[in-house]
């Protein structure tokens, strides 16, 4: 029998208390990234006077703001916190709930998806609390496999009109029967994300038509649509067409036409169009300047150009040209730097390593003339 290990603590102050129920019931269900965020929120409670933001949390854990938002929504779905929102849908407040047993939560009726979304009254109250996130911090995105549903829930869904129709259509798209994990994911789209049947059908149509049949990839696309507040198939179709158009245009500008963008390249394009909010015209202008400057396709260099324009608030070609003009004027007004004059170092040549003599050539000429005259007189 292995020897037991004794665990103790050599301190008593600065403690963050975590209920045992969390370790017994929630810890095994969540992934590591989600745990980081929740534990950080608990730690942040001891610093209520410090400012908190999604970007600040994302920087600490090397995540994106979308990752942090999804993590918060995961813990909200688990019942461990409650989110409030601004009028534009951004998170304005986080309130940590008491950690209760999961079995006790199942006795509480679950509100339909539309009721779980922030209502205008909630948004108004949240807006009055300030622009920063109040109460406590944030985390990453929910993997559906880490948020399982009961067999009874999945059975009721598969027997419903929407569920039965979706299962039939999705099996046709994927060319295989759906597993319990697949059904859990589809129900997540329907119940948690609030996707309509038409939107879920187009989700699978879009992914399969682009050669992606893995459920994990389909889930990522669904989460990105949720971040964009897409609620209908027409909105998703418009967004997909816009994204594809941007991808092909950027690749063509870089001389990389004839192929799909790689994962990292697509992330940059998503960042420019969705996070930065630039038009395709300005993105292509940044690509053109990249090729002029480094003479090779560089998504990183283009990202620096667009990041600079974003910091300057330049979102139109007119504003970009005005920023160029201001930068040129600033350079012209700056004092020119004179090249530094190097001090001559003494030569190490032994023939020059002595003190130079100075001569009075006028006096030497007089002496020479006098010497010549005296010589001719003596004769």
CA 302, CA 246: separation in Å to the nearest integer? 14
Q: Which fold has domain 152-231?
A: Arc Repressor Mutant, subunit A (1.10.10)
SS3 92: strand
Domain boundaries, given as residue ranges, for the chain: 20-101+117-141, 152-231, 232-325
| CB contact at 8 A, 188 and 153 | no
SS3 313: coil
User: How far is C-alpha 140 from the geometric centre of its chain's CA atoms?
Assistant: 12
Architecture label for domain 232-325:
Orthogonal Bundle (1.10)
What's the pLDDT at 290? 95
What's the pLDDT at 80? 87
Query: Is the per-residue pLDDT at 167 higher than 90?
Result: yes
Query: Is the per-residue pLDDT at 288 higher than 50?
Result: yes
Mean pLDDT confidence for 64-77: 84
Q: Exposed/middle/buried for 9, CB within 10 Å: 0-12, 13-18, 19+?
A: exposed
What's the pLDDT at 107? 44
Q: What are the angstrom distances between the C-alpha of 176 and each of 16, 74, 171, 221, 303?
A: 48, 29, 6, 21, 41
Mean pLDDT confidence for 25-51: 80
Confidence of residue 266 (pLDDT cuts 50, 70, 90): confident
User: How far is C-alpha 228 from the geometric centre of its chain's CA atoms?
Assistant: 15
59 HSE (CA, 13 A, CB side): 5
Q: Answer whether 152-231 and 232-325 agree in fold.
A: yes
* Helices first, then strands: H and E counts in the chain: 18, 2
- Reported as a single tens digit per residue, the pLDDT across 73-90 is 888 888 888 888 877 777
Q: pTM to 2 decimals?
A: 0.44
What's the pLDDT at 127? 30
């Amino acid at each position: 029998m292995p020897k037991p290990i004794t665990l103790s603590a050599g301190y008593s102050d600065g403690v963050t208390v975590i209920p045992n129920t969390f370790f017994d019931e929630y810890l095994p269900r969540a992934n590591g990234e989600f745990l980081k965020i929740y534990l950080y929120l608990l730690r942040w409670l001891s610093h209520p006077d410090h400012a908190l933001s999604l970007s600040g949390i994302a920087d600490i854990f090397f995540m994106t703001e979308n990752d942090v938002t999804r993590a918060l929504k995961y813990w909200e779905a688990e019942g461990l916190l409650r989110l409030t929102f601004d009028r534009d849908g951004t998170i304005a407040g986080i309130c940590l709930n008491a950690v209760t047993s999961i079995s006790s939560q199942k006795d509480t009726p679950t509100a339909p998806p539309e009721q779980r979304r922030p209502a205008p009254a909630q948004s108004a109250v949240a807006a009055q609390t300030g622009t920063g996130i109040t109460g406590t911090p944030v985390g990453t995105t929910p993997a559906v496999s880490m948020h399982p549903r009961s067999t009874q829930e999945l059975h009721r869904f598969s027997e419903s009109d929407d569920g039965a129709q979706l299962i039939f259509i999705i099996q046709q798209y994927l060319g295989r029967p759906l597993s319990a994990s697949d059904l859990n994911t589809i129900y997540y789209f329907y119940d948690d994300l609030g996707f309509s049947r038409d939107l879920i059908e187009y989700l699978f149509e879009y992914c399969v038509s682009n050669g992606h049949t893995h459920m994990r990839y389909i889930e990522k696309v669904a989460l990105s649509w949720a971040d964009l507040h897409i609620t209908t198939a027409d909105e998703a179709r418009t967004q997909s067409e816009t994204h594809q158009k941007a991808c092909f245009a950027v690749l063509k500008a870089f001389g990389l036409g004839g192929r799909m963008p790689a994962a990292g390249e697509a992330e940059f394009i998503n960042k420019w169009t969705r996070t930065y909010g630039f038009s395709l015209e300005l993105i292509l202008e940044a690509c053109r300047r990249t090729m002029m400057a480094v003479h090779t396709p560089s998504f990183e260099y283009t990202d620096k150009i667009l990041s600079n324009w974003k910091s300057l608030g330049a979102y139109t070609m007119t504003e970009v040209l005005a920023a160029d003009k201001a930068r040129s004027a600033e350079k012209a007004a700056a004092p020119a730097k004179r090249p530094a004059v190097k001090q001559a170092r003494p030569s190490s040549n032994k023939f020059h390593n002595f003190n130079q003599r100075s001569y009075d050539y006028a006096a030497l000429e007089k002496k020479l003339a006098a010497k010549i005259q005296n010589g001719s007189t003596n004769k």
